[in-house]
């Protein structure tokens, strides 16, 4: 026993965290001291060969490490994988609302070190590196939030440093998540203590020239390929509609407005320097007809910036939502009048999306996206002659309409799934075109010229002053003036005055002679594809369970799949207990879930905008006869002959619902009244549980075949990281 404990202790030291014995709750809740003083394994020594561009980068998001997670604890909402006995696995409770155990984080970094460490050029880390505040018995503290963030920052630094451990080999670009602050979602305008602390935590990652600006607003950029490609870390908390500490991007006094101005100026500089840019952040600019994540004014400006700087921007990369999908911005949705203060936004009926989407809420959101995609203009690709463009349609006067050859009407944002096992843990390796970049100087060489900054241990993390910020008289007067201006705009709504020119600066579009940017046309720095890796925790955790529902009363109804979706998610083994007294996991490993390079259903030639617009079009298609339930849409060009679309659909068997009724002795007929129907349903359920009473007649199930869009089903499969069975996905089809 003593030998095994020694081995366990050495293993924990190897990972930089001195863990409690399996099943024990940490004795001290704050983890600041442990994480700051812990020793970590030395990074694997690099080979003697000089490093060069590989054309790949890592996107990792939403780790949510939880130091209180206990294997074989209960996944119930009151326990949150912190207490009790239950089916929580060693590496996490998949498809549950529990956070990620340290074992999962350590195993993930081990896998990165062994498999991809030396093949990537930079890391995009899109936030949420603290646990959720979901356990009332162990409320989060500032030390815990900053402690896990420092731990991950140190692990990334050690993993991607040179053999001396003093210099980073590749750039790491972090951003703030809505759970990386306290209380979550609410970040006041800077400078503030949170931004000051993250400036300390990320001093290795933020260029020295931008550290002051980061403390002001939490945004910065890194030239990951000097003079060629920059990654912009946006502080999306100032765009987030649920941040009650700020008010969008309309007023010049708001940090969201200032960040948009900063972004506009920097993108203009990138254009003048001949550089390209990747935009990244935590909360994505997701928006449908009824839902939104960003403040409307922020979304409008961002979409306008994407449009005007389409020759500069490569793509947008985000996290937060846990589901694997993409967002298409349409220039037709941009309302310049709203940005100029000439239009009223009070009629906007979009509601803010929930912080954490359940499968049902996520599926509803994806359904709305699909509905929107049905309105997209299909790329002018000739299916009979691949690589050639169809001729433009003729207008009213017989002239051919101008063809949007490169899809520049649209812009693209990609949303990656998370490490936290909301579904299965996942990470993404994105590849880009390196043609002509073979002799480009590397970030490492430029970074060596920058002097390292050392912080005293006592300064690295201090307790935060989280008292509410009181407005000064000046600030209060400014806010009152803004309210007055808003009221004036509403009074003048619908007037007969002539339209005024916008009173804000609209960025200049690309020159007419400029070729399409890397987001539209294959060229250096165009994203060519990605490989999605996931860890099948159901297999890895190796938990065998027995169903506790068998021990419950016969009168208690079994929880249905839909019921499970709307509740706190207990995970795949909810309402069960493990049969093994001790955890017995299999070897941890990430495996390929899918790759855009060889996915025969997606058929993405690259990650350009046209490729995704074509995919969105194919996802939105409905069978011409016997349309599937859930989305009732008609594509604008559906009346035309859709060549090459025959492979979109597959035949699926569908069983009609069983029609049950009881041969009641009183012979009463059912009423159409809703209350009567509810009463009858309850009566039927009670009769179902009584054996030998009132024989029940059933109509036979009829199996019908119908057509179903297989690309939509495939999309949903990956959206939920292969955790939802295909038969259950039919509920959303």
Q: How far apart (Å, rounded) are the C-alpha atoms in residues 376 and 299?
A: 19
Tokens standing for 440?
A: 């480009």
Provide the β-strand partners of residue 140.
none
Residues 6 or more apart in contact with residue 276 via CB below 8 angstroms: 228, 229, 230, 270, 312, 313, 314, 517, 518, 525
Tokens standing for 467?
A: 């008292």
User: What per-residue confidence (pLDDT) applies to 439?
Assistant: 87
Among 259, 270, 253, smallest CA distance to 301 is for 259
Phi, psi of 44 (to 5 degrees): -65, 130
User: What per-residue confidence (pLDDT) applies to 142?
Assistant: 97
- CA 636 from centre of chain: 30
Look at the chain and count its residues.
733
Q: Residue 466, class by beta-carbon neighbours within 10 Å (0-12 exposed, 13-18 middle, 19+ buried)?
A: middle
Question: Does the model's pTM come out above 0.85?
Answer: no
Tell me the pairing of strands 229-233 and 56-60.
Answer: unpaired
Q: How far apart (Å, rounded) are the C-alpha atoms in residues 247 and 298?
A: 10
Tell me the pairing of strands 325-330 and 410-415.
Answer: antiparallel
User: What per-residue confidence (pLDDT) applies to 40?
Assistant: 35
Whose tokens are 């009332």? That residue is 136
The H-assigned helical ranges of 470-573 are: 473-491, 537-541, 561-566
Query: Which segments in the chain show pLDDT lower than 50?
Result: 1, 5, 7-48, 383-384, 386-387, 451-497, 499-502, 550-557, 559, 561-568, 626-641, 657-698
Output b/e per residue, 254-289; b: 16+ Cβ within 10 A.
bbbbbbbebbbebbeebbeeebbbbbbbbbbbbbbe
Q: Residue 205, class by beta-carbon neighbours within 10 Å (0-12 exposed, 13-18 middle, 19+ buried)?
A: buried
Query: Helices 193-201 and 142-159 meet at what angle, rounded to 10?
Result: 20
Tokens standing for 77?
A: 């909402």
Q: How far apart (Å, rounded) are the C-alpha atoms in residues 240 and 238?
A: 6
User: What per-residue confidence (pLDDT) applies to 728?
Assistant: 80
Among 632, 631, 637, 629, smallest CA distance to 704 is for 629
Contact 355, 178 (CB under 8 A): yes
User: What per-residue confidence (pLDDT) applies to 732?
Assistant: 65
Q: Residue 34, class by beta-carbon neighbours within 10 Å (0-12 exposed, 13-18 middle, 19+ buried)?
A: middle
Phi, psi of 706 (to 5 degrees): -140, 165
Tens digit of pLDDT for each residue in 234-285?
Answer: 999 999 999 999 999 999 999 999 999 999 999 999 999 999 999 999 999 9
Tens digit of pLDDT for each residue in 516-531?
Answer: 999 999 999 999 999 9
The CA-atom distances, in angstroms, between 660 and each of 150, 226, 562, 699 are: 59, 70, 20, 7
Q: How far apart (Å, rounded) are the C-alpha atoms in residues 109 and 59?
A: 13
Q: How far apart (Å, rounded) are the C-alpha atoms in residues 571 and 549?
A: 15
The H-assigned helical ranges of 51-192 are: 102-115, 142-159
Backbone CA torsion sign across 375, 380, 386, 387: negative
Residues 6 or more apart in contact with residue 642 via CB below 8 angstroms: 621
């Amino acid at each position: 026993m003593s030998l095994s404990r020694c081995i366990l202790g050495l293993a924990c030291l190897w990972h930089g965290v001195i863990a409690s014995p399996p099943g024990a709750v940490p004795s001290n809740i704050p983890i600041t001291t442990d994480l700051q003083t812990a020793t970590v394994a030395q990074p694997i020594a690099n080979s003697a060969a000089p490093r060069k561009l590989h054309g790949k980068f890592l996107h990792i998001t939403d780790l949510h490490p939880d130091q209180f997670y206990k294997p074989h604890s209960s996944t119930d909402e009151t326990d949150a994988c912190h207490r009790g006995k239950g089916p929580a696995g060693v590496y996490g409770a998949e498809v549950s609302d529990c956070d990620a155990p340290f074992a999962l984080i350590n195993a993930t970094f081990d896998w990165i070190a062994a498999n991809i460490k030396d093949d990537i050029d930079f890391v995009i880390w899109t936030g949420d590196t603290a646990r959720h505040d979901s356990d009332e018995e162990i409320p989060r503290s500032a030390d815990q939030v900053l402690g896990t963030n420092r731990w991950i920052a140190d692990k990334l630094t050690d993993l991607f440093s040179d053999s001396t451990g003093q210099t980073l080999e590749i750039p790491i670009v972090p951003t703030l998540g809505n759970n990386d602050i306290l209380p979550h979602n609410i970040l006041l305008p800077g400078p503030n203590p949170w931004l000051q602390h993250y400036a300390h935590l990320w001093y290795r990652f933020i260029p020295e020239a931008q550290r002051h600006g980061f403390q002001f607003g939490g945004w910065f950029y890194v030239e990951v390929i000097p003079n060629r490609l920059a990654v912009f870390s946006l502080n999306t908390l100032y765009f987030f509609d649920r941040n009650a500490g700020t008010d969008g991007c309309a007023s010049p006094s708001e940090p969201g407005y200032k960040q948009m101005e900063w972004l506009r100026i920097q993108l203009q500089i990138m254009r003048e320097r001949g550089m390209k840019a990747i935009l990244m952040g935590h909360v994505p600019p997701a928006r449908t007809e009824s839902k939104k994540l960003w403040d409307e004014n922020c979304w409008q400006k961002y979409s306008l910036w994407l449009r005007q700087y389409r020759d500069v921007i490569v793509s947008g990369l985000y996290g937060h939502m846990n589901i694997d999908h993409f967002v298409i911005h349409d220039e037709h949705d941009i309302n310049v009048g709203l940005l100029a203060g000439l239009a009223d936004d009070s009629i906007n009926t979009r509601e803010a999306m929930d912080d954490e989407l359940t499968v049902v809420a996520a599926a509803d959101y994806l359904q709305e996206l699909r509905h929107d995609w049905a309105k997209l203009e299909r790329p002018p690709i000739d299916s009979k002659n691949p690589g050639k463009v169809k001729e433009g349609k003729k207008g009213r006067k017989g002239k051919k309409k101008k063809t949007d050859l490169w899809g520049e009407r649209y812009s693209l944002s990609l949303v990656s799934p998370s490490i936290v096992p909301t579904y299965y843990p996942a990470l993404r390796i994105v590849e880009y075109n390196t043609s002509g970049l073979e002799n480009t100087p590397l970030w490492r060489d430029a970074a060596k010229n920058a002097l390292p900054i050392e912080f005293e241990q006592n300064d690295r993390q201090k307790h935060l002053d989280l008292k509410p910020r009181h407005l000064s008289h000046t600030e209060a007067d400014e806010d009152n003036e803004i309210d007055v201006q808003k009221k004036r705009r509403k009074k003048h709504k619908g007037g007969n005055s002539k339209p005024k020119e916008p009173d804000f600066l609209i960025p200049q579009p690309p020159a007419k002679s400029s070729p399409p940017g890397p987001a539209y046309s294959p060229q250096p720095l165009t994203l060519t594809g990605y490989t999605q890796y996931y860890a099948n925790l159901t297999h890895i955790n190796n938990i065998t369970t027995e169903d506790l529902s068998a021990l419950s009363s016969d009168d208690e109804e079994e929880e249905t799949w839909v019921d499970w979706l709307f509740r706190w998610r207990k995970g795949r083994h909810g309402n069960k207990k493990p049969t093994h007294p001790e955890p017995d996991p299999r070897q941890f490993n990430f495996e390929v879930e899918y790759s855009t390079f060889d996915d025969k259903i997606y058929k993405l030639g690259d990650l350009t905008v046209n490729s995704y617009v074509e995919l969105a079009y194919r996802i939105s298609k409905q069978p011409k006869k016997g349309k599937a339930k859930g989305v009732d849409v008609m594509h604008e060009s559906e009346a035309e002959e859709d060549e090459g679309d025959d492979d979109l659909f597959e035949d699926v068997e569908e069983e009609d619902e069983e029609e049950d009724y009881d041969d009641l002795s009183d012979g009463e007929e059912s009423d159409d009244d809703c209350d009567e129907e509810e009463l009858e349903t309850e009566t039927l359920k009670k009769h179902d549980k009584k054996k030998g009473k009132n024989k029940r007649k059933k109509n036979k199930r009829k199996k019908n075949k119908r057509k179903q869009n297989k690309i939509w089903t495939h999309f949903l499969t990956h959206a939920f990281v292969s955790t939802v069975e295909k038969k259950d996905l039919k509920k959303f089809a």
